[in-house]
Amino acid sequence: MTQEHHEHISSVYDSELEKLGKLLAQMGGLAETQLDAAMDAVVRRDGEAALAIKDKDRDIDALEKETEALVLRMLALRQPVANDLRLVVSTLKTASDLERVGDYAKNIAKRASVLAQLPAAPSTAVIGRLGRLVQQLLKDVLDAYLQRDMAKATAVWEADAEVDALYTAVFRELLTYMMEDARNITACTHLLFIAKNLERIGDHSTNIAETLRFMISGQPFEERRPKDDASNYAIVEPKGG
Amino acid sequence: MTDATLPGGVAAKIRRPDLSEARLRRRYSSERRFRFFGLAAIGLAMVMLVLLLTSIISKGWPAFLQSYVTLEVTFDPAKVKADGTGDFRQVMIDALQARFPEVTDRRHRAELRGLLSNDTDVRLREYLLENPDALGQTRKVRVMAGGEMDTYLKGQSTEVTDFSGRGIASLVDIGGGRMRVLVGANAFSEVLAATKVALAAEALEMERELFPLQRRVADLQQALAGATDEAARSGLAVDMADVQRQIAAANETIADMRRRAAASGGIEVLRDSLPSFIARVNGGAVRLTEVGNDQALGDVLLAPDSLADAAPGTWRVDVYQVAETDRRFKDRQIAWVNDLEARGEVDISLSDTFFTAGASREAEQAGIWGAAVGSVYTLLICLALSFPVGVLAAVYLEEFAPRNRITDLIEVNINNLAAVPSIVFGLLGLAMFLNFFGLPRSAPLVGGMVLALMTLPTIIIAARAALKAVPPSIREAALGVGASKLQTITHHVLPLAMPGILTGTIIGMAQALGETAPLLMIGMVAFVVDIPGGITDPSTVLPVQIYMWADFPERAFEARTSAAIMVLLAFLVIMNALAVVLRKRFERRW
Amino acid sequence: MSAIAEFAEPSTGTNSPMVVARDVNVHYGQAHALKHVDLDILQHEVTALIGPSGCGKSTFLRCINRMNDVIDGCRVTGKIELEGADIYDKRLDVVQLRARVGMVFQKPNPFPKSIYDNVAYGPRIHGVARTKSEMDEIVEVSLRRAGLWEEAKDRLLKPGTGLSGGQQQRLCIARAIAVNPEVILMDEPCSALDPIATAKIEDLIHELRQNFTIVIVTHSMQQAARVSQRTAFFHLGNLVEVGPTEQIFTNPHDDRTQGYITGRFG
């Protein structure tokens, strides 16, 4: 837990800040479990898991609304400045990021249930690898946020390149599969979307890392994030002809 | 009573206020008592004030009135001239003589002259100068009555009671200025009874006068017992015998008077030490020397118009309670005044001398104008000296003086000066201004200087308080706009402090107005007749005038003293009212 | 960035310094109230001095127009320059200094004179106006600049003390600007006023900035944040931090500054 919640002359102020932290922690935990569950469903081709995941997403949404309301109230009533201001604004942004993560996880789960009904698709292995990386990143960035660990956050920020590279590889591979056998198209398309969602979750994790850096140091990341996402420009020629 | 948990977990008993009936009643009763004491104090003060004012006003109002006599005066060109030369006194005497031709005796003529004020001749001269065509004519001239006549007319010479005449009164002239008054049976019984009462009172009075004599006897006896020297013993014995003789004689007289008082009827011989009994018959006055039940004998003071019988109710007997020997206005004079009154030649109106004349030995001519002018000059000098010096000193002490020992010393000394008895300043004035500087005695200049010394501490203290009361925010505002210290003080602080300063000044002036002791020291007790023309002319002030008049014995001066006190009080009230008005007026603006 | 540019003050730090204070120390008798203060007040800017009670901000303010001179036992050392000239120089006339550096106080203190005379007093004693019409013009301009003309023009001869609190304070501001000072010092000018009056005066300060340099001491951090371009934080007699207001309130350098403005002590 963080120390900035204490020492305000107004103890109610302190408890409000503490509450913000708790809400975020709750949301983070939920988002993590949702992602784990969704990837699990994809890998084990579990169709019923999606329903549970969908319901759980409502909780994340509710938490986000609660966080937003508390942030609004604190801005109006406390007029926070300096680090308190940065903390409150960061909480708002991070909550938004986490809510999106939850949505993407829900989406992945939905597609997983579709995939489960189709015959086994080729190579969900690579997806699995992408998924595990993104899961790790999310976990790391949330840990970093809770512990205010800049080093960990920077690592996540930099690892986004790896995510992008992996996503490009998956993109290419799936295109290849689709060109090889037209009967793969349905499954591969869904897998494409799943991969995209995972890549977006990675982006959001990076956002959280940036937000954390701003909260701690007051400075944003100067450099543009290294982008290795060449997927926008990926062209795969069909083999032969 | 429940327990509460304070921060830190300490349990504390919650105590609620005691709202009991008993407590409430105690508080109400103590408030009632407080209010009562306050009202009682105010009531006491009001009672004192009313007593003071009543006593002064009742004694003083007669001084504002003056009696006048309208006399027929012949301006004989043989005696006086139109340019004011000549013997106007003789003209006055002639006029009086013409009015009361039966007065021949020298003593009586002197008494007649005593009716009028002794500056009547001056008044006649003034009249002739104003009306030159009166020469050789007989005119009615209104002149001031003398002091004693004035006192009598205001009812302060003696109390007069009267017995209305019962039965018919017959006058018999037995010559030698004496007359007999015969009335019906026992018509004089009341008068006789009154004489006896007077006798008894007189006896009591004489008895009282014996007390000091008896004490003397006791003292002598004691001295005798203690004396060893033969010569002394004999001397003392002689003294004692003498005094004892006096006592014996007096006791005899007293016994005789008591006997006569107890006996009814008979003829009473009236002595001078008894009240005067005057029979007023047919416009004449007879002073009774013997009174019986049905007749009386007496001296004629004023000849009656006729010797015809007087019907019942048309005559009376006046009793002057104060014996003739105890007063200055004699019975004969009273008779003449009654005659003048009967013919409407006497009137009482507002005095034209009290407010316009200077000091005088004669009560009817004495006025307060000289003292008033003297007071005004003195106060003006005092104000002109003490106000600027006091205010500037206060400004210096408050604004410029550094806060060190010396300044503290000065402050303490100024406070002490305010408590110094005023007569000390008089001594200082005597030594410094009169002896060292050689300034004229009894002048308002010196009086003003002495009073200025006295008033200075009052003004300085009041001015300092007023300056301190100006809030520092005004000073800061002025300084912040770029005013220098001097500009701040003159443009802002002083105007705001002025109401307080003025109030203090006026109170100081009111105090100075009433000061007597220091002015006595510098000689303002001198008898000053002329109205002072300038600040170096000898003059006196109101309080000193009051002090001097209080010394004179005439009843008229008693009235004038009280009247002067009333004028002084009026002055003071006006000045204090002015202070209040000024304060209110300036306060509104701020 | 353009939205920020419209409201933010990139010019702060680039204006020339109007008042330069170097190593200023103030002692009240034995107490060391202000310690080694170095501060620049820049021209045509509002500089806010904030800090907890007794931190020395008012003391510093009163040094700039030498109002501390009237306090017994107050000793000022160091150098304070107004447009390059040392104001504690022996040859400098303090009265003239106060014509160049005006002051508005915490509790409105108009003179007990008419509104007209309140504003005219300064110009009168400094000989600014030569004729009555010149004075009338000065009074009108000052009252207009202070935002009081409309409310006061029909009652110029009525006493200044008859106005409401907020109007009185604006009258004091008009009085201060009537002599056209270079710097206006404000010592908690709104602390005795209600929020509407406060807002009016803050708006007024914003306009005055075009013609004057303003230094304002305030207890309210929100007011400092709303009104100033530069903020200086004082604590226990020390100047802890000074910088652009936006930076102070989003990312202060010193922990003490952060602690005070976030309400962790005070």
Nearest CB to C222: which of A8, A79, A84?
A: A79
User: How many whole angstroms separate alpha carbon C96 and alpha carbon C119?
Assistant: 18
For chain C, say whether B404 makes contact (Cβ under 8 Å): no
**pLDDT single digits (tens) C245-265:** 989 998 999 999 999 999 888
A86–C264 C-beta distance less than 8 A: no
For chain C, say whether B487 makes contact (Cβ under 8 Å): yes
At C76, give phi and psi (nearest 5°). -115, 125
Q: If you measure CA to CA, which chain A residue comes closest to C223?
A: A79
B496–C98 C-beta distance less than 8 A: no
User: How many whole angstroms separate alpha carbon B447 and alpha carbon B454?
Assistant: 11
Q: How far does A24 lie from chain C, in Å, by closest CA? A: 22
Residue A225 lies in a domain: no
Choose the most confident range, by mean pLDDT, from A150-154, A224-228, A237-241. Answer: A150-154
Cβ-based contacts of B403 with chain C (< 8 Å): 72
Q: Which residues contact B520 (CB under 8 A, 6 or more apart)?
A: B426, B544, B547
User: pTM of the predicted model, to two decimals?
Assistant: 0.74
User: How many whole angstroms separate alpha carbon B391 and alpha carbon B101?
Assistant: 71
Which pLDDT score, from 0 to 100, does residue B86 have? Answer: 85
Contacts across the B-C interface (CB distance below 8 Å) = 63
A8–C263 C-beta distance less than 8 A: yes
Q: How far does C68 lie from chain B, in Å, by closest CA? A: 11
Q: How far does C178 lie from chain B, in Å, by closest CA? A: 9
**pLDDT single digits (tens) C203-239:** 899 889 989 999 999 999 999 999 999 999 999 999 9
Q: How far is CA B285 from CA B146, B337, B432, B529, in A?
A: 21, 11, 64, 40
List beta partners, residue B483: none
- Average pLDDT of the residues in B484-496: 92
Residue A86 lies in a domain: yes
Residue A186 lies in a domain: yes
Query: Chains that contact B by 3+ CB pairs under 8 Å?
Result: C
**pLDDT single digits (tens) B501-548:** 988 898 899 889 888 889 988 888 777 778 888 888 888 888 988 988
Which pLDDT score, from 0 to 100, does residue A1 have? Answer: 36
Which pLDDT score, from 0 to 100, does residue B449 have? Answer: 92
Q: How far does C1 lie from chain B, in Å, by closest CA? A: 42
- Choose the mutation target among C65, C101, C107, C121 for the interface with B, i.e. most B CBs under 10 Å: C121
Q: How far does A215 lie from chain C, in Å, by closest CA? A: 10
pLDDT at position B320 over 90:
no
Stretch among A123-132, B53-62, B376-385, B443-452 having the lowest mean pLDDT: A123-132
Residue A239 lies in a domain: no
Residue A175 lies in a domain: yes
CATH number assigned to the domain comprising residue A54: 1.20.58.220
User: How many whole angstroms separate alpha carbon C79 and alpha carbon A134?
Assistant: 62
Residue A232 lies in a domain: no
Q: If you measure CA to CA, which chain A residue comes closest to C254?
A: A82
Q: How far does A3 lie from chain C, in Å, by closest CA? A: 12
**pLDDT single digits (tens) B227-263:** 778 887 888 888 888 888 888 888 888 888 888 877 7
A82–C251 C-beta distance less than 8 A: yes
Summary mean pLDDT of chain C? 90
Which pLDDT score, from 0 to 100, does residue B117 have? Answer: 86
For every residue of chain A, DSSP letters joined together read: --STTS--SSHHHHHHHHHHHHHHHHHHHHHHHHHHHHHHHHHHT-STHHHHHHHHHHHHHHHHHHHHHHHHHHHHHH---HHHHHHHHHHHHHHHHHHHHHHHHHHHHHHHHHHHHSPPPS--HHHHHHHHHHHHHHHHHHHHHHHT-HHHHHHHHHHHHHHHHHHHHHHHHHHHHHHH-GGGHHHHHHHHHHHHHHHHHHHHHHHHHHHHHHHHHS----SPPP---GGGG---PPS--
Q: How far does B489 lie from chain C, in Å, by closest CA? A: 13
Q: If you measure CA to CA, which chain C residue comes closest to A214?
A: C251
Residue A38 lies in a domain: yes
For chain C, say whether A218 makes contact (Cβ under 8 Å): yes
pLDDT at position A240 over 60:
no
**Residue C114 corresponds to which tokens in the numbers above?**
């008419």
For chain C, say whether B403 makes contact (Cβ under 8 Å): yes
Cβ-based contacts of A9 with chain C (< 8 Å): 263-266
Q: If you measure CA to CA, which chain A residue comes closest to C248?
A: A82
How sure is the predictor about A221, in pLDDT bands with cuts at 50, 70 and 90? low
Which range marks the domain in which residue A59 is found?
Answer: 3-217
For chain B, say whether C65 makes contact (Cβ under 8 Å): yes
Which pLDDT score, from 0 to 100, does residue B91 have? Answer: 87
Cβ-based contacts of B589 with chain C (< 8 Å): 112, 159
- Average pLDDT of the residues in A38-65: 90
How sure is the predictor about A241, in pLDDT bands with cuts at 50, 70 and 90? very low
Per-position b or e across B463-491, b if 16+ CB within 10 A of its CB? bbebbeebeeebbbbbbbbbbbbebbbeb
For chain B, say whether C109 makes contact (Cβ under 8 Å): yes
Q: Per the structure, how many domains does chain A have?
A: 1
